Amino acid sequence: MRKPYSEEAARWLQHARDEYADADDLRKRGRFYLALFHFQQSTEKALKAYLLATVKSTEALRTHAIGDLVATASAVDHDFQSITSAKRLDQYYIPTRYPNGLPGGVPSRFYDDPVEAAEASRLAGGVLDLVSRKLGS
């Protein structure tokens, strides 16, 4: 039997929070390529939690694109238009994980900018805050 959407959303949001905390720890340790990927992942999961709770459908689980998830959430609640810049985190979905995602580069060496990682943290944190407020948790 499938869990109620509210319970499933709570699981997704908890995982998003945990992943954000892990990403921030990686950022502080200078492991920027991993931090960037996990900031993207925590944002994706937080948005999916919101959509599970409000739209009550698993359709949103099929995409990994934050831009698409923000657009869907914005159609439900216009407050999500304030986080459209979070779509920039989509650029970290593939190239932070695979050497062939960077022409001639190695992700663990290429991503070396603490300012970039701090901005990713800010974007992801903003999404988590908004989703948490909207879901009352």
pLDDT for 64-101, tens place per residue?
999 999 999 999 999 999 999 999 999 999 999 999 98
Query: Could you list the residue range(s) of the whole structural domain that residue 41 is in?
Result: 5-135
pLDDT for 2-26, tens place per residue?
778 999 999 999 999 999 999 999 9
Q: What's the burial of 52, exposed, middle or buried (CB within 10 Å: 0-12/13-18/19+)?
A: buried
Question: How many Cβ atoms sit within 10 Å of the Cβ of residue 77?
Answer: 12
Read off the CATH number of the domain in which 131 is found.
Answer: 1.20.120.330
Split into its structural domains, the chain has a count of: 1
What pLDDT is recorded for position 44?
Answer: 98
The contacts of residue 102 (CB under 8 Å, 6+ apart) are 95, 110
